[in-house]
Amino acid sequence: MILENTESGKVPVPGFGQSLLCFGGIVLMISVGLFVLGVDLHSLMFISLLWAGIHARILGYDYGSVRQMMGQAISQALPAIYIFVLIGMVIASFMQAGTIASLVYFGLGIIDPDWFLVASLLLCSVMSLATGTSWGTAGTMGVVLIGMGEAMAVPLPLVAGTVVAGATFGDKLSPISDTTNLAAMSAGTGLYRHIGSMLYTTVPTLVITLVLLLAVSSWSDPVELPVASIDTIRPALASSYRLLPLVTLLPLAIMVILSIRRVAAEVTMSASILAAVVIAVVFQGETVAAVLNALWLNTPGDTGIASLDELLGRGGISSMAWTLLLALMALALGGILHGSGMLGRLVAGILEKVRHVPGLIATTIGAGVIGNMAMGEAYISIILNCQLFRQRYREQQLDPAVLSRSVEEGATLTTGLIPWTTAGAFYSATLGVAVVDYAPYAFLNYLNGLVAIAMASLGLGLLNGRKVED
């Protein structure tokens, strides 16, 4: 064990071998636990915490020091944790107010056969932006679009790839998405700063994707719009909600306007929740008790369509428990790895030959893909890669939002392109198309990272002028 002199005295410095053993052991335990043994991810995180704690103890840190490392990492993320709680209430209140029902109802009413693929991408993008969930979007709007595409003889892998691309686009940029908040929190940047940073690379990629879909549509034979699927869902929504856009879309409009004005995320979400609660009670006729209870745990809808009812029952504080608890444990794990110096040593070994910003961004994106492939979950990949690369971005004087953006482009966007991840398995089962079949047509998902690397090589979108905060 090597000791290094600091202002606070001598501290142990881990070697590269021990750091690699510790980090590699965590990846191995999570991979084997998830895919071979079927162990819950939270339990695996607990075992990983013990593993990292043992390595810190071997280095010479006592339990008090290890606990301080974990506590400090969690305390730094408290603002984002508050937002996690609000996310659940936003989703539930939007469901109760008929906001999401209106988006589905009117979205399905404007589809034109000649613009089917483009409309599918945009509808899924808007839906996932509003709900913060790519899975919920694919499980409802995506299922409808698959049925319509089949009736119009559009190749289903093409439709499924478009659905996944749109669902991921909104999930990546939504202020109420768990992965969006998780990336911002883990990288140490503000939520809106993170979203603004992603716009630099995601909007150009969306434009490229739209052009590709237009080209594909122009090569296809003319198709007819199947009204059966639409005529099933739209009446079911109309019979369950009062769908007046000027009223039901007001909570969403408040969120968009306040977000553009850079009002604090907590204030923006709280204002949207209050507006949605009032609309649910006054306009939709729900009882005060039912709406307030839904803020804790929402209940399924009553349209008679199972997938639609499941979507309308999303949200509530309790629905965020899985992600929130996972985030707390992963932050604690990152605190040990960072506080003990193992992350820093590992990064130094990995990035010895990465001396330029484009290479650093490409390495970060690649690490996100590898993390998804190894651990099957974007959540852990996001948190660990933010911890792994944070110091190097600071040394390069890059804004933390560039780190959070790069991590999302590697992790969030590619998780649905890998068959053995939870997202890949979900999309495949829900849409009825194998991942290997739809992945080539999820243009946005794999082009976004390439666009980001190309822009970095040209010195574009690097948010120059702001440094990573300590």
Average pLDDT over residues 330-358: 78
Whole-angstrom CA distances from 147 to 225, 229, 442, 447 are 11, 7, 18, 27
> Sorting pLDDT into bands at 50, 70 and 90, what band is 80?
low
- The C-alpha angle 191, 385, 256, rounded to 5 degrees, equals 15
Kindly give, in sequence order, each residue whose CB lies less than 8 Å from that of residue 109, ignoring residues fewer than 6 positions away.
230, 234
Q: How far apart are CA 191 and CA 130, in angstroms?
A: 16
Which secondary-structure segment (H or E) carries 9?
strand 9-13
Q: Output the pLDDT for position 6.
A: 44
pLDDT score of 106 more than 60: yes
Provide DSSP, 185-234.
HHHT--HHHHHHHHHHHHHHHHHHHHHHHHHHHHHSPP----HHHHHHHH
Q: Output the pLDDT for position 375.
A: 64
What tokens does 433 get? 């198309």
* Residue 10: φ, ψ to 5°: -85, 130
What tokens does 339 get? 């506080």
**Do residues 284 and 237 make contact, with C-beta atoms less than 8 angstroms apart?**
no
3 pairs with which residues across the strands?
12
Torsion angle, CA of 362/414/132/81, rounded to 10 degrees?
A: -60
pTM above 0.85, yes or no: no
pLDDT, tens digit (0-9, with 9 covering 90-100), for 150-192: 656 678 899 999 999 999 998 889 888 888 988 998 898 988 8
Residue entry with tokens 């408290």: 78
Contacts made by residues 283-289, CB under 8 angstroms, sequence distance 24+? 283/97, 283/98, 283/242, 283/244, 283/247, 283/248, 284/96, 284/97, 284/98, 284/241, 284/242, 285/242, 286/96
**Do residues 279 and 93 make contact, with C-beta atoms less than 8 angstroms apart?**
no
pLDDT, tens digit (0-9, with 9 covering 90-100), for 370-395: 877 766 678 878 888 888 888 888 88
Instruction: Count each helix (H run) and each strand (E run) in the chain, helices first.
Output: 25, 2
pLDDT score of 271 more than 80: yes
What tokens does 458 get? 């040209």
